[in-house]
Amino acid sequence: MEPFTLLRAVAAPYYHADVDTDELIPHRFLRKPLAAGYGNFLFHDKRRGAGEREDPDFILNREAYRRAQILVSGPNFGCGSTREGAVYALRDYGIRALIAPSFADIFSANCIQNGVLPLTLSERDVRSLCDFLQAQPGAEITIDLPAQTVSTADATTYRFDLERSRKIRLVEGLDEIGITLKHSQDIERFEAAYRARLPWLAPARGTS
């Protein structure tokens, strides 16, 4: 998983409360393999209208925001079903960070597992950030995860909190398997001592 330390990128303002996982990726696309490119299905029913034509008014279809890697939205982002495909769609599209007043718990965990930063600010700060981004379409903002700050071009800085274990996972680029492998030597020592203490538990040769 790609480490997340410093991200300077275009941010798209999409302030809506209760953006659910079915809005992020409609369930009919979850039958497709990841090789199909889940980013193509992100906000599908919002991005595209009749005949699969792009809706020019949708935020990610506007030229200024097509390269957005940061999405700023409203409270309870990622609610609804627990589908991990919603995060796959965001990540495949190129979104590395989400900023909102709050996130659904399971969605937030899925983000961390896939290298996407779910960053919470107060509702007042999120609205202020959205106002800035709407006034300056295509503006970049900077997220410094080690310092836990979000900065805009007008020198406004917002501080955010993130659980230490989640921060470490993102900064080091570790999924659950990677975390386990960090302790591989301790695991091997434990297993060796366990087998020595209880040799009768070890399977006989030729058996599984």
Confidence check: pLDDT of 64 > 60:
yes
Per-domain boundaries in the chain: 6-173
Decide which of 1 and 68 is more confident: 68
CA–CA separation, 116 and 38 (whole Å): 15
Residue 186 pLDDT > 90: no
Tokens of 69: 């890697």
Does pLDDT of 190 surpass 80? Answer: yes
Q: Are 74 and 121 in contact (CB under 8 A)?
A: no
How does residue 51 score in pLDDT terms, banded at 50, 70 and 90? confident
Asked if the model's pLDDT at residue 182 lies above 90, the reply is: no
- pLDDT, one tens digit per residue, over 77-87 is 999 999 999 99
User: Cβ contacts of residue 201 below 8 Å, gap of 6+?
Assistant: 194, 195
CA angle 119, 43, 68 (to 5 degrees): 50
97-100 and 140-144: which strand pairing?
A: unpaired
Sorting pLDDT into bands at 50, 70 and 90, what band is 204? low
Angle CA(61)–CA(64)–CA(70) in degrees, nearest 5?
A: 85
For strand 149-151 and strand 70-73, is the pairing parallel, antiparallel, or unpaired? unpaired
Q: At residue 183, what are phi and psi to the nearest 5 degrees?
A: -105, 25
Residue 75 has pLDDT above 90, yes or no: yes
Q: Which helix H or strand E contains 64, and what residues bound it?
A: none
pTM recorded for the entire structure: 0.86
Give the rounded distance of the alpha carbon of 60 from its chain centre: 17
Q: Hey, what's the torsion of the CAs at 148, 152, 153, 156, to 10 degrees?
A: -90
Q: How confident is the model at residue 206 (pLDDT cuts 50, 70, 90)?
A: low
Please state the separation of Cα 52 from the chain's center in Å. 26
What does pLDDT average to over the chain?
A: 92
Q: Which DSSP string corresponds to 94-112?
A: T--EEEES-B-HHHHHHHH
Give percent above pLDDT 90 in the chain: 78
Q: Is the separation of the CB atoms in 21 and 78 below 8 Å?
A: yes
pLDDT of residue 104: 97
Q: Given a cut of 60, is residue 21 above it in pLDDT?
A: yes
Give the CATH H-level superfamily of domain 6-173: Aconitase, domain 4 (3.20.19.10)
Q: Residue 208: pLDDT above 70?
A: no
Treating both helix axes as pointing N-terminal to C-terminal, what angle do 105-113 and 85-93 enclose, rounded to 10 degrees? 50
How many CB atoms lie under 10 A from the CB of residue 44?
Answer: 16
In tens, the pLDDT along 104-141 reads 999 999 999 999 999 999 999 999 999 999 999 999 99
Helix (H, G, I), strand (E, B) or coil at 97: strand
More confident residue, 178 or 99: 99
